[in-house]
Amino acid sequence: MANRFWKGLKKSEMVIALALSAVLIFIIISRYENFKCRSINSEAKFYLKEIYAAQMLFRADFARFASLQELRDLKRIAIMERYYDYGDEKEPTELSFFIKALGKKDTLVANDAWSIDDKSALKHELKFCGYR
């Protein structure tokens, strides 16, 4: 029995091994895009939370919320816009702000939308990740 192992596999054993390999490869490939979408979504969530923290600090100093461009000009935040574009959805006031992240065209997250407001409500508004 021990000597047969070194002589090679039977055809039926080979077929079973190939079938298991094919199933595993299919599972990995089908899950990869979902994993990639979640990792790209983390960019939007991270930067929106950074913007929220910067807005709270700005409000503590100036008793109002700032526009996103004003926060950038004052170097209170530095956003690397790799997959998402960030912008003010509404003009900020003394009491509220609303920032939106929209997925860039020709990326996996095209038209995907996230937002955050003055109540720290992070919302995934449009879920287009992975769908073209």
pLDDT digits (tens, 9 = 90+) for 97-126: 999 999 999 888 888 999 999 999 999 988
String of DSSP letters for 63-78: SS---HHHHHHTTS--
CB 41 within 8 A of CB 114: yes
pLDDT digits (tens, 9 = 90+) for 23-34: 999 988 888 888
Residue 9 pLDDT > 60, yes or no? yes
Predicted TM-score (pTM) of the model is 0.77
pLDDT digits (tens, 9 = 90+) for 18-66: 999 999 999 888 888 888 888 899 999 999 999 999 999 999 999 999 9
pLDDT at 37: 86
Q: Cite the beta strand spans of the chain per DSSP E.
A: 84-90, 98-103, 113-117, 123-126
Chain mean position to CA 11: 45
Q: Which residues contact 6 (CB under 8 A, 6 or more apart)?
A: none
Going by C-alpha positions, the residue among 46, 70, 66 that lies closest to residue 56 is 66
CB 84 within 8 A of CB 103: yes
